[in-house]
Chains A and B, each alone.
Chain A
Amino acid sequence: GQSLEQPSEVTAVEGAIVQINCTYQTSGFYGLSWYQQHDGGAPTFLSYNALDGLEETGRFSSFLSRSDSYGYLLLQELQMKDSASYFCAVRAMDSNYQLIWGAGTKLIIKP
């Protein structure tokens, strides 16, 4: 079966940089996605990595290493509005290519 692990909670200071890690175990890996979800809100798409390397979109970057079954989301110049839960989600053959979601990382930002 497949599994994803990410820290349950991360705390950082406004203006700083934070990295949220995600490790996965799956068969027939296809891609890794990151979503943001504010309390009471809907998940919103942040990034997708299918190949090794870094994808940058503004203040957010996402990295993937297929050989290590590992990825991370990097948030720079943290703002209070970045306080949310961040989910990694894997698409793989053994899940019929459906997104399998991690339990999420709650990011707490302090002024």
Chain B
Amino acid sequence: EAGVVQSPRYKIIEKKQPVAFWCNPISGHNTLYWYLQNLGQGPELLIRYENEEAVDDSQLPKDRFSAERLKGVDSTLKIQPAELGDSAVYLCASSPRGLAGGGDEQFFGPGTRLTVL
């Protein structure tokens, strides 16, 4: 079974430039998460999707960040414009069931390491 796929793996941009990250979750997983992880810290949730619906985006900085999950499968996270403080690893995760399903296993992709110069 293929895991969560993310691209690109690395991205270097100058501040004020736009950037986009792509995620393909595990087939059949209805729940998709975008996390941000700074060095030496745990992941921080940006947004959670149940199928194509964003059910929790309270931590997403909506002035510059946007996300979409068309057809409830692949998802894209965009930053425009990027700031120096956005340098981090952006992780995508999926799970086969939502919060009501119990258990807690999330499957993570390898992440995109963003460097903003």
Contacts and interface: CB of A to CB of B under 8 A. Distances in A.
A104 B108 CA distance: 16
Interface of B: 4, 40-45, 48, 56, 58, 91, 93, 99, 102-111
Quick one: which of A48, A101, A102 has the most chain B CB within 10 A?
A101
Contact of B43 (A43, A44, A45): A43
11 contacts: A42-B108, A42-B109, A43-B106, A44-B108, A45-B107, A96-B58, A99-B104, A101-B41, A101-B42, A103-B40, A104-B40
Given A97-B99, A101-B43, A104-B40, A31 B56 contact: no
Contacts of B93: 43
Contact of A98 (B41, B42, B45, B111): B45
Interface in A13-44: 31, 33, 41-44
Most chain B CB atoms below 10 A, which of A43, A91, A103: A43
A99 B106 contact: yes
A12 B40 CA distance: 20
Contacts of B109: 42
A87 interface: yes
Interface of A: 31, 33, 41-45, 48, 50, 87, 89, 91, 96-99, 101-104
Contacts of B103: 48
A48 B104 contact: yes
Nearest to B107: A45
B56 A87 contact: no
B99 A45 contact: no
B110 A89 contact: no
A33 B108 contact: no
